[in-house]
Homo-oligomer: A and B are copies of this chain.
Amino acid sequence: MTQATFRQQYTIPYFLCDRKQTIRLSMLVNYMLKVSGEQTAQIASEQQQTFFHEQNRSWIILAYEFDIKRLPRRDETVTFETYASEYNRLFCYREFKVYDEQENLIVATTATFGIMDLTKRKIVRIPEAVAAPYQATYNKQIRRTNKPEPLQTEQALHKAYLVRYTDIDQNNHVNNSVYLTWMLDALEADFLNRHDMCSGIIKFEKEVSQVEQVSSYVQTTIEEDAIRTDHAIQSADVTNARASFYWQRSV
């Protein structure tokens, strides 16, 4: 069975880019979710959408794995492609691909989704009827996904952030893209100016709600063929998210 694939084209405005004139990772993720949201609006039946509303449930993102050849540039028109590739009783894996105008693949991302019961704040089983329209393959085996490297917060650098009004999304928790902003902002400006991210993994562990202060920890390791930065977002004694990013010197 072929998955239901959905494509949309966007031109990246300058104000969603950083000083290197390429899109901010947080904004890339926002575009990806916009595209998958529009696929859902198009193919999910009214009945399926009522299920989420009536049962107070929502798709949430548990992890991203990025593979970046290069990021879309300011004013560049790129195509976002997405499809749900596979699901099991708890998780649905969705692929996101970004192509340039010559149809070269420039970014590939795998996202792990789950369904949260917003009342109980727990991940619940994915009903077959909800998964069906996406034509993803059912595979009862839960995938062994890559994990961020552990980080010793005692030895890590950190910056503190207060949750802002605009960081909160409709679920009343901090939007996923904001964790990426906090993580990357904890790196030195000089490092960000001179390096490009080539891959990364982020796992969301516990939501951050409003009126909280978080700490963004970072630790840098020089590997043979890349620089690795390990990240953790913590509020009080809870780890909210972890990530490892791999970087090359900018050319």
Contact = CB atoms under 8 A, between A and B. Distances in A.
Nearest to A191: B165
A233 B100 CA distance: 41
Interface residues of A, number: 29
A164 B14 CA distance: 17
Number of copies: 2
A185 B210 contact: no
A164 to B, nearest CB: 5
Interface string A1-42: 000000000000111001100001001001101100100000
- Select the residue from A15, A31, A177 with max chain B CB neighbours within 10 A: A15
Contacts of A31: 13, 15
A120 to B, nearest CB: 23
Contacts of A15: 27, 30-31, 33-34, 175, 177
B177 A164 contact: no
B165 A185 contact: yes
Interface of A: 13-15, 18-19, 24, 27, 30-31, 33-34, 37, 159, 162, 164-166, 168-170, 175, 177, 181, 184-185, 187, 189, 192, 210
17 contacts: A13-B30, A13-B31, A13-B34, A14-B34, A15-B27, A15-B33, A19-B165, A19-B168, A19-B169, A19-B170, A24-B166, A164-B181, A164-B185, A165-B187, A165-B189, A165-B192, A166-B185
A175 to B, nearest CB: 8
Contacts of A14: 34, 37
A184 B165 contact: yes
Contacts of A166: 18, 24, 181, 185
A27 B13 CA distance: 11
Contacts of A210: 189
A13 B33 CA distance: 11
- Select the residue from A34, A159, A164, A184 with max chain B CB neighbours within 10 A: A164
A226 to B, nearest CB: 21
Nearest to A175: B15
- Select the residue from A18, A159, A166, A177 with max chain B CB neighbours within 10 A: A166
A209 to B, nearest CB: 11
